[in-house]
Structure 1
Amino acid sequence: MTTLQAMFDVRGKSVIVTGGASGIGRAYAEVMADNGARVCILDINADGLNAAVADMKGDGGDVWGQVVDLSDRAAVALAFDAVASRNGRIDVVFANAGIDAGPGFLSTDGGRNAEGAIDVLDDCHWDRVIEVNLTSVYTTVKHSARHMKATGGGRIIVTSSIAAQINEAIVGTPYMPAKAGVDHFVRQMAMELGAFAILVNCISPGPFMTNIAGGRLKIPEDRKAFEAQSLIGRIGHTEDIKGLALYLASPCSSYVTGSQIVIDGGAMHRIK
């Protein structure tokens, strides 16, 4: 009989988490480390990375970090090679790094927000959001596949968003096409990589209390707007996402690939 422990066993797995110094990425790193995986966090924020690694090591985790800008393709390749050299392989990758796209064309009270209008959107801002939220996923998956093919398979888990599946006027416009591209890319990669025993899936969060919105959810009016979308009346906490992360990284999800798993407190139903 298969035990619960065996179904969710990630002990000894070599895991990479991009953007793992805070927020949802840190939750991924914590749940992997707490359950015996060997975790490497890649993040551009050196201070946050050092603090996260110190905290997890203090809790007994096998965790280390590398300061990497995920938009630097050569640096990403070198970072993956370093993990494979240290651990002998790469088993699980959480492609999580992402940035906020700023305010949308409507404010939370329904009024027009001139700063978020398409005709004044800064081209460099558009490029940066697409570069980090979509192109870095391509780079991460590329190097994950390169190493996982060599060792017989693995898991790639990408952080998308419910923004990939809906239109949202109070979120910056570049965010939606970036995440929609992520969803489609994940399905494409699941088709290509399944033959190599590499499973590729999305976690699609709704509003979570993280740093990605630049503290926006700490503003009462903005927080209320997002809380009103939830069917259970609250924004997600990073602890809420750990069970899903462990599920997708473990043997329990061995027949799941090409999926977008929504974790949003039911917000999509209310938005629709």
Structure 2
Amino acid sequence: MRTTLRSDLPVGSSRWAVRRAQWRSLGISDEEMTRPKIAIVNSSSDLAACFAHLDDIVPVLKEAIRQAGGLPFEIRTAAPADFITSAGAGGRYVLPTRDLIVHDIEVVVEGALLDGMVCLSSCDKTAPAHMMAGGRLDVPTLIVACGYQRSALHEDGGADIEDVFLHAGHTALGRTSAEDLLAMSEDAIRGPGVCAGMGTANTMHMAAEALGMALPGTTPTRADGAVMWDAVRAAGRGIVDMVHEGRTARSVLTPAAIRNAVTVMLAIGGSINSVKHLQAVAVEAGLDVDVWRTYEELADRVPVITAVRPNGPHLIEQLDDAGGTRGVLAALAPLLDVDTVGVTGRPLGELVAETPAPGAEFIRPLSDPFTRRPSIVILRGSLAAEGSIVKLPADEERPLDGLFHSLQHSARVMKKQRSGSIVVTASTAGPRAEPRVSYPYVASKSAVVGLVRQASLELARFNVRINALAPGPVVTSIGGTGPRPAAALAAWEDSVPMRRWGRPDDVAGLALLLASGASSWMTGGIHVVDGGASALTQIPSDALPAPDTTAL
């Protein structure tokens, strides 16, 4: 019996007639017009390596859909690439473009009453946008993660894009020469795909599989690799089955699925951006789920079982080869709701039972994790009453203690105790003061390095380095290596206009300004016990020294 499709327009109606006229001119037959009509959502452009292979995927996916009995249509959306489209307007275009992609999809898929969609996900904002669109429209939706790029780091021990990004901040501070940065950036990226490492893109690809929105065993994956191409062909078959079976996005995106995804994010030390993206997915799917609270609730229960850069020493390729998301899900099975059903229509428990044992060197068992400290910690207090985030790398213990009235004070305490913590608050870099939303951390990484470097040469003995830093109001972490590492946190408060610093979009200028004497503006305090949040407080402004305006 033929499936009734929402794309079936009444024969003889005006909309049926004009659509038929349009489609006949494209060579579409009347028989093809009776098939499930599938959107191939191609969020790509020529601007970045992230998308460079997506156009080649489309014809293969179209053929797979046709062979499965569907009628494919490629549709295009906006395609932000963080390292490219953050150049204008201080990075303000990047995160809003996530929501623009959702609108782009709605206009075409809902406007044309298409029956389902396969989304080609790549750079950071595309996977969450695609899942948000699926949740909003509640049509059959299947995510294809289009893979991570080859890097010089993996192939011959050179640099990857994370190294280039980090050393750009060092160049602004005179720690890396422009010539070295030029050489580093020459061939750090050696093929199409998203940034290698546990950045936002790979994190959200894995989240898609953990939610059940991607096919099992397809994330993370090498761009243009055999697994990716197998996933493309399987997606073409799978989406047609989903339409016939009525398996829509909201049947997959359940509260239990969100909880499973948060469990995976904590276990892999995923990007802190996963918090806001999963919350957005939940909202679009009509779920009454507080994702921030879910992270808080699960933080102390979920050990960290992978340690991929920048959270630890391993490469994304090693996690991929060890079993990827499917291996992580198998290792986490006792902590998951295995009754959830994804795009395949099969319960997670069945899939986990069929999963080979993951490589224990890179995906640890629950009994022997890399650390039992949470990888993502939600903090609440007067600096960020609605919540803020600390990212804790897997390979560091982090004793955080003390409330310091200035960075200089913290340096003196560290010199005396030989260990401790630095807590700095940049009161002029929040989204209300400078609404660059997802990209203040471009400035912040360099800025905090400058602050720490300038405050006391003694800090060099702790080899303070940036592990992860994110926007505000968000608390983000900096760690050190060595026998007695120091730690530093930056809490970003949003109440003071950024114009006091001059040109807010000048990242290098901001870093140098901070390094040259504005550190008396940086203050704040946090007390963290065993990786869990107990308080987040701000020192009264009348307790601060006057700002040093000589640098201005």
Bigger relative contact order, structure 1 or 2 (CA pairs below 8 A, ≥6 apart): 1
The alignment's TM-score, normalised by the length of structure 2, stands at 0.22
The alignment's TM-score, normalised by the length of structure 1, stands at 0.38
Higher helix share: 1
Give 1 or 2 for the bigger CA radius of gyration. Answer: 2
